[in-house]
Amino acid sequence: MLQGSLVAIATPMHGDGSLDISALRALIDFHIEQGSDGIVIVGTTGESPTVDFEEHCLLIRTAVEHTAGRVPVIAGTGANSTREAISLTNAAKNLGADACLLVAPYYNKPTQEGIYQHYKAVAAAVDIPQILYNVPGRTGCDIANDTTLRLAQIPNIVGIKDATGNIERGTDLLLRAPKDFAIYSGDDASCMSLMLLGGHGVISVTANVAPKLMHEMCVAAMSGNAILARTINAKLFALHQKLFVEANPIPVKWVLHKMGLIGAGIRLPLVTLSAQYQDVLRDAMKQAGI
C-alpha cells in the first residue's frame, strides 16, 4: 500500500504553454530529495484537462523513466468517457506506472450505478492498481461511500482519494472499508485530521512547494504523534488555504515559479495569478519557511 505524502505534481510549461520536460525532470529530483513519498503525474494540478493524449503519455513516460523506481509513480488517467479512461489507463500501464488515479466521470452526471459500472469496466479492462478520485466540487459527480465500498471489492481497485474535505465521510470509509483499501485525503486543509483517524496519506497540492514539511507531517500523523503533526501543520496551514485563492493550479504554479523551480507557463483557459493575491501567497510562503 502506498502511504504518505504523494505530490500531485504540477506540469512545468514554457511561456507559450508548451511542455517543459527538462523542468519536470528537475522537479521530480527536487521532490525525491525533499522526501515526497510518491509522484502523481497528470492529475488536476498537472493540468490534465488541457493536455492531449500524446502529451499525457509523454508526461507519464518521463515521470516513470526519470523516477527510475526511486518512488512510485501514479498516473492520472480518469475521463468522463469510459472508453477514454480505459485507453489512458492502458497506456499508463504500458508506460510502467505503478498505479492509476481515476477522477469520477465529470460533467455528464452518471447515477451511482453508472459510476460503479464505469470503474468496474476500467478495472476489468486494465490490470493495474487503480485509485478512485472523488472531487465533486470540480466534477459535479459525487462517489457515494456505499458505491466506494462496492468498488473496494474489486481486487485492483485499491483506494480512494477523497477530496471532499468531509471528515465524517472519511471516518465512515475508514470504519467500513477493507483493511487493505487505502483512504487518501485529497484536501490539504483536513488531511492531518484524516490521517490521525487512520488515513493512509494525502495526494497533495501543498507538497508541490513544501514537500519536506508535508512528508514530516504525514509521518507524524500516521504514527499517531498528534502534537508534532499539529505543530508542522500549523506552519503549512496558510499554504493549505491560500493555494486555492484561485483555481488550482494557478496559485501553486505561481509559487513554484517564484521559488525558481519552474517557468511561468500555464495553459489557457487558466492564466497567471491575479496581482491582488500575490502578497497573500508571499505571506503564506514565509509562514511555511519557503
Q: Which residues are catalytic?
A: 133, 161
Tell me how far apart the alpha carbons of residues 75 and 64 are, in angstroms, rounded to a whole number: 9
> CA–CA separation, 290 vs 277, rounded Å?
17
Asked if residue 208 lies in contact with residue 6, where contact means CB atoms within 8 angstroms, the answer is no
Q: Which of 28, 100, 30, 101 shows the shortest CA–CA distance to 69?
A: 28
C-beta separation of 192 from 233 below 8 A: yes
> At residue 135, what is the residue type?
V
99-113: b (≥16 Cβ within 10 Å) or e: bbbbbbbbeeebeee
Residues 6+ apart with CB under 8 A from 55: 19
CA separation for the pair 133, 159 (Å, rounded): 9
Q: For residues 125 and 154, what is the distance between their CA atoms, to the nearest angstrom?
A: 12
| H or E segment and range at residue 41 | strand 38-41
List of residues 6+ apart from 275 with CB closer than 8 A: none
**DSSP at 13:** B
Cell for 106?
A: 465529470
